[in-house]
Amino acid sequence: MTRRILLVVLLMATSGGLTACRKKGAAAPPDALRNAYDSEVDWNDPQRVIPLGYEAAQGKRIFYQQCVWCHADTSPAGPSNRSNVSPTPPLFNDGNALNRESDDFLENIISLGGSAVGKSAMMPAYGRTLGQEDIRSLITFARAIAVPPYESPKNSVR
């Protein structure tokens, strides 16, 4: 039994060690998908690695395909497209902008586009490109990486 516990501790230590060895990442590195899929380096603090659950990890994958272009400071092609879009879209981890919006609102703006919810038409509608699961996983990812951190309404009520 003690050996088993020792083994688990050792395993955790190795995996912890591996995570700690991660190369220092710049803010939203363009090759973020090359890093571990189930964690994301905090965009504001390269030392902090945020673990992602299944949903958030799927959200991360879709984010780096579809959203990274306008909602991050760098894109897979190098420079971000944010500067070409006005009003400037919020960064995906911008808790100040996104934490106050409900999951339903975010689902609507992604699915129906900005103009449908009274925001910029530059945000296209993704409801016919992404499934509902995809969109929800994107929101889970945004919540996971939010700075300041996101607190779900359920938790704050309790």
Partner 1 sequence: MPAEDMGRVSRRLRVVFASSSVIFVAALAISPVKDLRQEWKRYKRDYVRFAQKRPDTKRLLEDFHSGIDQIWIPDLGVVDRCTTCHQGITQPTLGGASVPEPFRAHPTIPHGAQEWGCVVCHRGQGLATEVAEAHETTLAWEQPLLPVHFIQGACGSCHREGLPQTPELNRGRLLIEELNCEGCHELEGPDRPAMLGPDLTNVGRKVSRKWIYKWLKEPRTLTDANGNTTVDGVETTEEPRMPKFRLSESEIRALSAYLSVQRAKPLEDVKFDPRLVAVWSKRPDLIDRGELRFRQMFCSTCHALAVTRAGETKLVGGDIGPELTKVGSKVKPEWLAAWLRDPQAYLPHSEMPRYGWSDEDLFEVTQYIQTKLTDPDLLSDVPRLGAPTVEEIELGRRLFLEKGCASCHVVEGLPAPKDFGPDLSALGAKNVSQLDFGTSTIPRNLISYIQAKITDPLSVNPAARMPQYHLTPDDLDAVTTALLGMIGTPASSGMEKLIVPKREPEFHPLGEFGRVCERYKCYVCHQFDGFGGRLAPDLSYEGSRANREWLIDFLKNPQTLRPTLVLRMPQFNMSDHEASVIADYFGTVLQHDQVDPASVERREFTPQMAALGKELYEVKYQCQACHTLGATGGYVGPSLSDAGDWLTPAWIEAWLRDPQALVPETIEPRRAFTEGEVQALTAYLLTLRNAPGQHVPGSGGGGEK
Residues of this chain that interact with partner 1 (CB under 8 A) are 4, 7, 10-11, 14-15, 18-19, 21-23, 33-38, 53-55, 58, 61, 65-66, 69-70, 75, 77-79, 81, 84-85, 115, 120-129, 133, 154-155
| CB of 89 or CB of 95, closer to partner 1 | 89
Distance in Å, CB of 129 to partner 1, minimum? 4
| CB of 44 or CB of 61, closer to partner 1 | 61
Distance in Å, CB of 26 to partner 1, minimum? 12
| CB of 87 or CB of 100, closer to partner 1 | 87
Distance in Å, CB of 148 to partner 1, minimum? 19
Distance in Å, CB of 69 to partner 1, minimum? 4
DSSP 101-122: S-HHHHHHHHHH-GGGGTS-TT
The H or E element spanning position 78 is strand 78-79
Q: How far apart are CA 154 and CA 104, in angstroms?
A: 14
| CB of 27 or CB of 85, closer to partner 1 | 85
Question: Which single residue is written with the structure tokens 């272009």?
Answer: 69
Region of residue 52 (phi > 0: left; psi between -120 and 50: alpha; otherwise: beta): beta
Six token digits for residue 21: 């060895």
Helix (H, G, I), strand (E, B) or coil at 51: strand
DSSP 133-147: HHHHHHHHHHHHH-B
Distance in Å, CB of 101 to partner 1, minimum? 19
| CB of 43 or CB of 64, closer to partner 1 | 64
